[in-house]
Amino acid sequence: MEELIPNPGNCLASRKLLEEDGHILWAWREKPLMPSDSGWRFLSDKDTDLTILPEERMLMVSLNEIFEIEPMVAGIYWYPIGADFQFFSQVDNKHFVYNDSFDKVELASSLDRIPSDSEVFKAHFPQYKPPKVSGKQEKVLIARVPEIKPTKKKAKEDTEETAEAKDLDNKRDQASKHTYIPSIDDTVTLSGAELKLLADAKEEVEGVLKLWQSELKGQPDNNELYVITGLLLGYLGIRNIEVPLEWATRRNLIVNTFYQAYQVSQEKTKLYIESYENRRDNPKYLAEIQIIRYGRAMYEWYWQNNTALIKEQFSHLIDHYTD
């Protein structure tokens, strides 16, 4: 494979990304550990808090290995230390966004093509000063940023993804008509202790839901409900490590909360949950994976009493996924 950037240096990447055919989801740049380290760090859509613990150790590899996984990384290579991006791959629309604002990242094919005059760049890198590079170096350090031109294989994949997206829309339409999904069991028996745990979880969920609701203009529409469903799945999933509740109990908590808060039918909420469960481990569905990941983060922020961050990130998610 032709090098996109000659001698790009090394980076740290998760084992999930390198060894398990993962797809890039997170990319950020920090202070290098050594001269050969570019400072770039990468995680995959399959990573969790458990897979990146110190004992798991991320691996130091050449950036060329990352370019082979996703060539568009060459377009963010020139961004300075402090860059913090997420990668979205949708039908014929692959791009990086800033992690905090979800603004699209402009790709740069060389150092002098970084959009340092843009307001978005200035907001994220207020102290940025272009490093001095000789003309000779500038000619060498040019990234061959790939254009997104669908191949026959890609066109086929896009067609399949479009069909799957339409399938999700159909499911949402069915949900709005109260279609019943018999694959989810409705029978849950709880002990007195479990009822107490459920009551505590219900109070907590209502608290975080109230924070999210404050960022909406009114009752959530179908798309907003779908995002909230994924956030609650992630929130309760990470909470379950500290306060275990059976999966059926967590599911029914979401169902009943939606019914009480928004008068959403049980069948409709169950359909949303089923969609996430079918897609959460499939790298094609980065949206669902991303929303669940944010739900986990919301749990940490909630117990840190960081309500401002909860509201801010929820608002960004809603804007990004419901446009």
Structure-token pair, residue 279? 């897609």
How far apart are the C-alpha atoms of 22 and 205, rounded to whole Å?
Answer: 32
Q: Which of 44, 115, 101, 110 is nearest to 77 (CA)?
A: 110
pLDDT of residue 183: 32
For residue 269, count other CB atoms closer than 10 A to its CB.
24
For residue 186, what are the contacts with CB-CB under 8 A and spacing of at least 6? 252
Q: 145: phi > 0 → left, psi -120 to 50 → alpha, else beta; which?
A: beta
pLDDT of residue 288: 86
pLDDT digits 0-9 by tens, 81-134: 999 999 987 666 789 999 888 899 999 988 888 999 999 999 999 988 876 654
pLDDT of residue 198: 74
Full-model pTM: 0.47
pLDDT digits 0-9 by tens, 208-229: 999 999 999 899 999 999 999 9
For the chain, what are the domain ranges? 10-149, 153-322
Q: Which of 48, 51, 46 is nearest to 69 (CA)?
A: 46
Classify residue 75 by its DSSP letter: G
Structure-token pair, residue 171? 């499911």
Helix (H) or strand (E) holding 122: helix 119-124
Regions in the chain scoring below 70 on pLDDT = 1-4, 21, 49-57, 90-92, 131-196, 323
Contact predicate 79/118, CB 8 Å:
no
What DSSP string describes 209-229? Answer: HHHHHTTSSSS--HHHHHHHH
pLDDT digits 0-9 by tens, 138-157: 443 444 444 444 444 444 44
